[in-house]
Chains A and B, each alone.
Chain A
Amino acid sequence: MHHYTLSELSVALKNKIISSKELALHFLARIEKYDPDLNSFITITAEHARQQADIADEKYKKGTAGPLTGIPIAHKDIFCTKGIKTSCGSKMLDNFIAPYDASLVNALSQAGTVLLGKTNMDEFAMGSSNETSFYGPSKNPWDLTRVPGGSSGGSSAAVAARLVPVATGSDTGGSIRQPAALCNLTGLKPTYGRVSRYGMTAFASSLDQAGPLAQTAEDAALLMNVMAGFDEKDSTSINEPVPDYTHSLNDALQGLEIGLPKEYFSADLDPNIATCIETAVKQYERLGARINTISLPNCHLVVPLYHIIASAECSSNLARYDGIRYGYRCTNPLDLLDLYERTRGEGFGTEVKRRLLMGTYVLSAGYYDAYYVKAQKIRSLIIQEFKQAFQKVDILLGPSTPDTAFKLGDKNKDPISMYLSDIYTIAVNLAGLPALSIPAGFINGLPVGMQLIGPPFTEAKLLNTAHRYQQITDWHKKLPENYK
């Protein structure tokens, strides 16, 4: 049953071909079998899952079930889950049991999903390989010596190995799209403000956005129907009507104007990936889309820009982890300063500390204008650039990543090369736009991801564009050999 997509499982449940309980037990068994190697879960909530599955089966009996009732799901460990450990991949929160559900967790739980566990992630979502996790890296099911991407690497590894049909992730600079690309999944980062951030542990507040990691665009659409929407608890969520994302999936792409940012096809890109994307572009032409080349002249600035803004915000967001109210506390502090220094020194990992230091630095008196203020100005410029591009085209298309999955340990000693793996995904977060990554081929047995970017609140169009592609291709149907 793990070969089925969410939408297929939904039909099977509805037609009583399988029960929620059977489904939950099947996937829990797979987790038990495969996760010791993959390390994609931090917490497995087997008992909780069995209870939720029973409730789901009750709903099917009573006829009150919806499309997600009984669907097994895993949440990235960044989302607060009531009564369940929510570690954020950090020693700092290793002992933290969240006392409440994130709005997104609540919505998906109300919709009847069955939570199998919490997935591994880079510590506080800072990383692109899952290697900064306190719990050790998750592995890529396509090659266990390679990274699954990050920071939502646990979610992408788990779905890619079909330990769970769908999972949630969060994307601050590519943390959904990059792992989706590296693991052959469909991953959507919605428009900033589309999905509530309430209960999602903050990394960089102005960039963070939650979204689905799924097998298909259709599955992502089904999840978005529940995840999207205004939340009065999140002042940055936007009160914009939520369409039924499944309704427009089959719309024709006749006349769709697709733009290829020429800067995304420069020398940084693996030529084999370029070939995959070019093939996909031809397929879109056959679907009736028109192809244009456009320019995003300032996109070379986005990596440093991102690291100024994200680090500044995280240096403040992570100040609350002080050993006083919850989480890790050092033993026998001598005084208050010692408590702070040792708690944070021992509780945070290297990458987190690096970013806290960078963020503190760029906000400091005397540097603020040169870094933070300037970065905000360039951010406005990037937003403008996208606006201008979208006056010419409906959607931008390009690669999701410059390379396929890299080897564990290859980049984690060199932060700059690690940061560059997000070169194509970061601009979208800075501009608050929706974007998704879908499977577009393989190089040496490793998946290639293609990114589609749209103007704000065009998730339906993006999912439609992805879905039509997935109807004429079968990259997304491929499973890693050992997990079939």
Chain B
Amino acid sequence: MFDNGKRTIVDKDVVQWEPVIGLEVHVQLLTQSKLFSGAATAYGADPNTQACLIDLAFPGVLPVLNAEAVNMAIKFGLSIEADIPDCSIFARKNYFYPDLPKGYQISQYESPIVSRGRLDIVLENGQHKSVRITRAHLEEDAGKLLHEGLENMSCIDLNRAGVPLLEIVSEPDLASPKEAVVYLKTLHTLVRYLEICDGNLQEGSFRCDANVSVRKKDQQLGTRVEVKNLNSFRFVEKAIHYEIKRQIQILENGGRINQETRLYDSDKQETRPLRDKEDANDYRYFPDPDLRPVILTREHIETLRKTLPELPHKKNQRFQEDYGLSHYDASLLTSHWKLADYFESVVKHKVPAKLAANWIMGELSAALNKAGLNIEQSPLSPLRFATLLQRVADNTISNNIAKDIFEMLWATEKTVDEIIQTQDLQQVTDKTAIVQIIDAVLAANPQQLAEYRAGKDKLYGFFVGQIMKASNGKLNPQQLHNLLKEKLDACKE
């Protein structure tokens, strides 16, 4: 079995191994200015137009802490029931790199602003899991090196240098790539609820590194590998999955795991070494003497607590309880607070919750996606949308007609009722009128009628189609079904 020295990994092996995953997430805080300077933080500006003398580390400049960033970090800490210290300290992390103008990054080492929190996640099987968050600390981002299209040179864009980040470090509590993604998505939702991050993964506002190791069940933790460059939820899952397999294969073949940093290559779908422990930096952390310790009073923290919104898991729970929605529906609707707000504004207008949920996650989401719009940019106000759904609920129009009207509403200023009136789309609910149409269709198709009555049940659909066509889709489907059944079966015996 081992004679060629190598084995390919089989699923049986995987079962014996237990992945241990911890995540480090860099959340870019939504402040107007940088963490220690007054320069703007907007994304996509021309290179070096948003870098002031402080960001450029000119001689003599000094950092001044952005109070808003501190408040955002505290709000995050409160939302994960973490400890907020009375005194938090900034430290210098020293290393040389051209994207780091000062030669050190102002970060936090001892006394981070948030420690010992937890984030509850709901796994695919409905099980709840509490993921421990070791710490979250404030730090400044580095600049960006540009190499593309340049020969024998690199350019430096320092717009990003000094942008505030909250680095959120979890304990190695995650047991699978899927769990890691659920944790990330839960965190992603949370920071947007708190309005401390725009959550834009493409622009790098929400970045993730994964620490991955494997061990035999109930044994000591294995050597961990840090995987970087995970800029989408899908890549996180794929990269961790790849890394777990890679490690198991090495261990199964009697090898050892190198403690190293690996980069995920999304094109090749593999991880490869970036740097190993050999040339690991000694960052020489020490408290930054340019910044005094940040003193946080209980009063200030309590004031911030009062500004916390209803948190996603609470809202999710309430949606299930108050609106009778499934966990799945509630999760989708509460994935962003603006979507949840839209839903609640619609339901407020006496629209059945399930109907509203289906339409928002179905038609509305699809249309918004297609137009590349966010929910808050919806051309359809909750009120107009609610009126449409009311007409469905009170049987004025059928669901199909409603879809046509929905498209018209998207493009016009007309009200739902105007469209129904002018286009004569009102659902026919008068029994006599429906019977008249049924009779006419049956009379026009004697052969099919005979076949049906002879037992060819499949033709039922044919009649429904013909009747709907004759009525321009305006019949109430349930009513039609009852009456048609009655008519067809009347002479069947």
User: Which of B59, B92, B98, B286 sits near A201, CB closer than 8 Å?
Assistant: B59
Determine, out of A227-235, A280-288, A415-423, the stretch whose residues face the partner at the interface.
Answer: A227-235
Q: Which residues of A contact B101 (CB under 8 A)?
A: 320, 324-325
Q: How far is the CB of A83 from chain B (nearest CB, A)?
A: 14
Q: Which residues of A contact B289 (CB under 8 A)?
A: 204-206, 236, 313
A360 within 8 A of B: yes
Q: Which residues of B contact A197 (CB under 8 A)?
A: 60, 62
Q: Which residues of B contact A336 (CB under 8 A)?
A: 98
What is the CA–CA distance of A206 and B286 in the complex, to the nearest angstrom? 12
Once A316-B103, A363-B284 are accepted as A-B contacts, the answer to whether A325 and B94 lie under 8 Å apart by CB is no
Q: How far is the CB of B317 from chain A (nearest CB, A)?
A: 43
Pairwise interchain contact B291-A235, C-beta atoms closer than 8 A: yes
Once A325-B56, A360-B284 are accepted as A-B contacts, the answer to whether A316 and B65 lie under 8 Å apart by CB is no
The contact string, 1 if C-beta is below 8 Å from chain B, for chain A 199-243, is 111101110000000000000000000000000111110000000
Which chain B residue has the least Cβ–Cβ distance from A96?
Answer: B59
Which chain A residue has the least Cβ–Cβ distance from B38?
Answer: A233
What is the CA–CA distance of A364 and B156 in the complex, to the nearest angstrom? 29
Once A316-B104, A363-B94 are accepted as A-B contacts, the answer to whether A235 and B59 lie under 8 Å apart by CB is no
The contact string, 1 if C-beta is below 8 Å from chain A, for chain B 39-74, is 000000000000001001111111111000000000
Q: Which residues of A contact B286 (CB under 8 A)?
A: 312, 316, 363, 368, 372
Pairwise interchain contact B104-A319, C-beta atoms closer than 8 A: yes
Pairwise interchain contact A235-B292, C-beta atoms closer than 8 A: yes
Pairwise interchain contact B59-A319, C-beta atoms closer than 8 A: no
B102 within 8 A of A: yes
A198 within 8 A of B: yes
What is the CA–CA distance of A80 and B63 in the complex, to the nearest angstrom? 16
Q: Which residues of A contact B96 (CB under 8 A)?
A: 319, 322, 340
Which chain B residue has the least Cβ–Cβ distance from A193?
Answer: B292
Q: Which residues of B contact A316 (CB under 8 A)?
A: 92, 94, 103-104, 284, 286
Q: Which residues of A contact B363 (CB under 8 A)?
A: none
Which chain A residue has the least Cβ–Cβ distance from B95?
Answer: A319
What is the CA–CA distance of A234 and B291 in the complex, to the nearest angstrom? 9
Q: Which residues of B contact A319 (CB under 8 A)?
A: 94, 96, 102-104
What is the CA–CA distance of A205 and B61 in the complex, to the nearest angstrom? 11
A86 within 8 A of B: yes
Pairwise interchain contact B62-A234, C-beta atoms closer than 8 A: yes
Pairwise interchain contact A198-B60, C-beta atoms closer than 8 A: yes
- The number of chain B residues touching the other chain, given as a range, is 20 to 34
What is the CA–CA distance of A26 and B113 in the complex, to the nearest angstrom? 58
Q: How far is the CB of A210 from chain B (nearest CB, A)?
A: 11
What is the CA–CA distance of A198 and B36 in the complex, to the nearest angstrom? 14
Which chain A residue has the least Cβ–Cβ distance from B97?
Answer: A336
The contact string, 1 if C-beta is below 8 Å from chain A, for chain B 280-322, is 0010111001111000000000000000000000000000000
In this complex, how many residues of chain A approach chain B with their Cβ under 8 Å: the count is 43
Q: Which residues of B contact A86 (CB under 8 A)?
A: 59
Q: Which residues of A contact B94 (CB under 8 A)?
A: 315-316, 319, 363
Most A CB atoms within 10 A — which of B56, B65, B96? B96
What is the CA–CA distance of A76 and B157 in the complex, to the nearest angstrom? 33
A297 within 8 A of B: no
Pairwise interchain contact B282-A364, C-beta atoms closer than 8 A: yes
What is the CA–CA distance of A316 and B94 in the complex, to the nearest angstrom? 7
The contact string, 1 if C-beta is below 8 Å from chain A, for chain B 103-139, is 1100000000000000000000000000000000000
Pairwise interchain contact A199-B60, C-beta atoms closer than 8 A: yes
Determine, out of A67-75, A97-105, A266-274, A433-441, the stretch whose residues face the partner at the interface.
Answer: A97-105
What is the CA–CA distance of A220 and B98 in the complex, to the nearest angstrom? 43
Pairwise interchain contact B290-A205, C-beta atoms closer than 8 A: yes
What is the CA–CA distance of A336 and B147 in the complex, to the nearest angstrom? 14
User: Which of A80, A312, A315, A364 sits near B60, CB closer than 8 Å?
Assistant: A80
Q: Which residues of A contact B285 (CB under 8 A)?
A: 363
Most B CB atoms within 10 A — which of A98, A315, A322? A322
A window 354-375: CB within 8 A of B: 360, 363-365, 368, 372
Q: Which residues of A contact B102 (CB under 8 A)?
A: 319-320
Which chain B residue has the least Cβ–Cβ distance from A80?
Answer: B60
Which chain B residue has the least Cβ–Cβ distance from A309?
Answer: B289
Q: Which residues of B contact A199 (CB under 8 A)?
A: 60-61
What is the CA–CA distance of A363 and B64 in the complex, to the nearest angstrom? 24
Pairwise interchain contact B64-A235, C-beta atoms closer than 8 A: yes
What is the CA–CA distance of A312 and B348 in the complex, to the nearest angstrom? 63
Q: How far is the CB of B154 from chain A (nearest CB, A)?
A: 9
Which chain B residue has the least Cβ–Cβ distance from A318?
Answer: B103
Q: How far is the CB of A297 from chain B (nearest CB, A)?
A: 26
Pairwise interchain contact A99-B58, C-beta atoms closer than 8 A: yes
Pairwise interchain contact A99-B53, C-beta atoms closer than 8 A: yes
Which chain A residue has the least Cβ–Cβ distance from B287?
Answer: A376
User: Which of B59, B60, B103, B284 sits near A322, CB closer than 8 Å?
Assistant: B103
Which chain B residue has the least Cβ–Cβ distance from A100?
Answer: B53
What is the CA–CA distance of A185 and B54 in the complex, to the nearest angstrom? 35
Q: How far is the CB of B55 from chain A (nearest CB, A)?
A: 10
Pairwise interchain contact A235-B63, C-beta atoms closer than 8 A: yes
Pairwise interchain contact B290-A324, C-beta atoms closer than 8 A: no
The contact string, 1 if C-beta is below 8 Å from chain B, for chain A 292-323, is 00000000000000000000110110111010
What is the CA–CA distance of A99 and B62 in the complex, to the nearest angstrom? 15
Which chain B residue has the least Cβ–Cβ distance from A200?
Answer: B60
Once A233-B64, A319-B94 are accepted as A-B contacts, the answer to whether A88 and B59 lie under 8 Å apart by CB is yes
Q: Which residues of B contact A312 (CB under 8 A)?
A: 286
A483 within 8 A of B: no
Pairwise interchain contact B60-A102, C-beta atoms closer than 8 A: yes
Pairwise interchain contact B61-A198, C-beta atoms closer than 8 A: yes
Which chain A residue has the least Cβ–Cβ distance from B154?
Answer: A336
A93 within 8 A of B: yes
A326 within 8 A of B: yes
Q: Which residues of A contact B64 (CB under 8 A)?
A: 232-233, 235
Most A CB atoms within 10 A — which of B58, B60, B62, B92? B60
What is the CA–CA distance of A205 and B62 in the complex, to the nearest angstrom? 10
Q: Which residues of A contact B59 (CB under 8 A)?
A: 80, 86, 88, 93, 96, 98, 201-202, 320
Q: How far is the CB of A233 from chain B (nearest CB, A)?
A: 6
Most A CB atoms within 10 A — which of B53, B61, B62, B282? B62
Pairwise interchain contact B53-A233, C-beta atoms closer than 8 A: no
What is the CA–CA distance of A413 and B292 in the complex, to the nearest angstrom? 38
What is the CA–CA distance of A326 and B285 in the complex, to the nearest angstrom? 26
What is the CA–CA distance of A197 and B60 in the complex, to the nearest angstrom? 7
Which chain B residue has the least Cβ–Cβ distance from A197?
Answer: B62
What is the CA–CA distance of A318 and B96 in the complex, to the nearest angstrom? 11
Q: Which residues of B contact A320 (CB under 8 A)?
A: 57, 59, 101-103
Pairwise interchain contact B284-A233, C-beta atoms closer than 8 A: no
Q: How far is the CB of A414 from chain B (nearest CB, A)?
A: 28
What is the CA–CA distance of A283 and B282 in the complex, to the nearest angstrom? 56
Q: Which residues of B contact A204 (CB under 8 A)?
A: 289
Q: How far is the CB of B305 from chain A (nearest CB, A)?
A: 26
Q: Which residues of A contact B156 (CB under 8 A)?
A: 324
User: Which of A100, A235, A365 sits near B290, CB closer than 8 Å?
Assistant: A235
Once A235-B291, A235-B292, A316-B103 are accepted as A-B contacts, the answer to whether A364 and B284 lie under 8 Å apart by CB is yes
What is the CA–CA distance of A310 and B168 in the complex, to the nearest angstrom? 33
Pairwise interchain contact B92-A198, C-beta atoms closer than 8 A: no
Q: Which residues of A contact B53 (CB under 8 A)?
A: 99-100
Q: How far is the CB of A355 from chain B (nearest CB, A)?
A: 15
Q: How far is the CB of B142 from chain A (nearest CB, A)?
A: 13
What is the CA–CA distance of A315 and B102 in the complex, to the nearest angstrom? 11
What is the CA–CA distance of A46 and B57 in the complex, to the nearest angstrom? 30
What is the CA–CA distance of A372 and B289 in the complex, to the nearest angstrom? 13
The contact string, 1 if C-beta is below 8 Å from chain A, for chain B 164-207, is 00000000000000000000000000000000000000000000
A-B contact pairs, 12 of them (CB 8 A): A100-B58, A198-B60, A200-B60, A233-B62, A233-B64, A235-B62, A315-B284, A316-B284, A325-B57, A326-B58, A363-B94, A363-B285
> Contact residues of B with A, CB < 8 Å?
53, 56-65, 92, 94, 96, 98, 101-104, 156, 282, 284-286, 289-292
Q: Closest 10 A-B residue pairs measured CB to CB?
A: A319-B103, A205-B289, A363-B284, A206-B289, A199-B60, A201-B59, A320-B57, A80-B60, A365-B282, A201-B60
